[in-house]
């Protein structure tokens, strides 16, 4: 297993979050080049450096996990990638057309006032995709996530796990070049989480979407990702990038029973432990 610093490459600058017509990418190669990104937040209590000099290449078709202590700016990075926030300095570049994205949010994000089907096809409706096509797409996605019988249900009739499946389907529906996931399983119980991990792995195998995935769980990162980006405590910097080379296709059981699993877990944990200690000490001081 190698620990590599993030690579740099030049590219055409594109405005953040701009959407365009979908095309397919060559497998491999850079999808997005994150170049010296900094994000500071101004508040009455002072300036907060959420991200500091973050450079990173997201490879086309890879499953990239981001781990780091709470409040290290992981979500800020994801929001910038999603076009919901702008960097203070630095740029996002893409070698070609700027990739489209869809973000799966942490916690409740499925619209309670829409049926499952309307939730899933929401992004398509926004871009004016005709009804018949939306229905077809919904059918395919409902089948993919295995909740066909809840098509006309409202979210309150569903379990938390089902709702999160709907959120994932809603993001997949717009067929984004880049799927962003912000701790999508954090609100789920352990069993449901394991099932959804396998489902997302399965979806990744089938679609080969580029996925950037934030998680608290080293287990989850090791099971799912090709590379793990370890963040420092705030201000968020990239401490290391860890390659994960368990054979694919994967599922959580085979990865966890892999003889090298413990060793790799330790490797990531060694990188993370100091940062978590710093972050928690700081939050204790903050409450005084």
Nearer to other proteins, 100 or 232 (CB): 100
Cβ partners under 8 Å of residue 99, min gap 6: 25, 31, 32, 176, 177, 178, 210
Peptide bond into 249 cis (omega under 30): yes
Nearer to other proteins, 103 or 145 (CB): 103
Whether residue 135 contacts residue 96, with contact meaning beta carbons closer than 8 Å, is answered with no
- Helical H runs in the chain? 74-81, 116-120, 122-126, 131-144, 160-173, 190-207, 218-224, 252-256, 261-287
**Residue corresponding to tokens 């297993």:** 1
Query: Nearest approach, Cβ of 76 to other proteins (angstroms)?
Result: 13
Nearer to other proteins, 113 or 247 (CB): 113
Query: Nearest approach, Cβ of 129 to other proteins (angstroms)?
Result: 12
Nearer to other proteins, 75 or 232 (CB): 75
Query: Nearest approach, Cβ of 138 to other proteins (angstroms)?
Result: 15
Residues that bind other proteins (CB under 8 A): 19, 79, 82-84, 101-103, 105, 107-109, 111-114, 122-123, 126-127, 154-156, 170, 174
Run of H or E residues at 213:
strand 210-214
Cα distance between residue 109 and residue 274, in whole Å: 33
Nearer to other proteins, 103 or 203 (CB): 103
Query: Nearest approach, Cβ of 109 to other proteins (angstroms)?
Result: 5
Nearer to other proteins, 30 or 75 (CB): 75
As a dihedral over the C-alpha atoms of residue 133, residue 134, residue 136, residue 137, rounded to 10 degrees, the angle is 120
Query: Nearest approach, Cβ of 19 to other proteins (angstroms)?
Result: 6
Query: Nearest approach, Cβ of 45 to other proteins (angstroms)?
Result: 21
């Amino acid at each position: 297993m190698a620990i590599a610093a993030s690579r740099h490459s030049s590219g055409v600058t594109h405005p953040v979050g701009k959407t365009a017509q979908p095309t397919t990418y060559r497998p491999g190669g850079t999808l997005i080049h994150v170049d010296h990104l900094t994000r500071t937040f101004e508040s009455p209590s002072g300036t907060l450096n959420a991200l500091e000099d973050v450079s990173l290449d997201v490879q086309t078709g890879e499953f990239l996990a981001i781990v780091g202590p709470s409040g290290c700016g992981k979500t800020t990075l994801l929001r910038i990638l999603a076009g919901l926030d702008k960097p203070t300095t630095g740029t996002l570049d893409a070698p070609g057309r700027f990739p489209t994205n869809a973000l799966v949010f942490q916690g409740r994000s499925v619209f309670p006032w829409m049926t499952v089907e309307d939730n899933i096809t929401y992004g398509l409706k926004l871009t004016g995709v005709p009804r018949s096509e939306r229905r077809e797409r919904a059918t395919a996605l409902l089948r993919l996530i295995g909740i066909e019988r809840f098509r006309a249900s409202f979210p309150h009739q569903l379990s938390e796990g089902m709702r999160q499946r709907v959120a994932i389907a809603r993001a997949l529906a717009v067929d984004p070049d880049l799927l962003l996931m912000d701790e999508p399983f954090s609100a789920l119980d352990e069993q449901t989480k394991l099932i959804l991990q396998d489902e997302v792995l399965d979806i990744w195998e089938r679609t080969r979407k580029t996925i950037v995935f934030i998680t608290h769980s080293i287990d989850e990162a090791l099971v799912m990702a090709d590379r793990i980006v370890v963040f420092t405590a705030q201000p968020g910097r990239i401490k290391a990038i860890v390659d994960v080379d368990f054979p694919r296709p994967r599922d959580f059981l085979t990865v966890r029973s892999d003889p090298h699993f413990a060793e790799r877990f330790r490797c990531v944990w060694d990188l993370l432990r100091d940062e978590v200690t710093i972050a928690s000490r700081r939050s204790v001081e903050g409450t005084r």
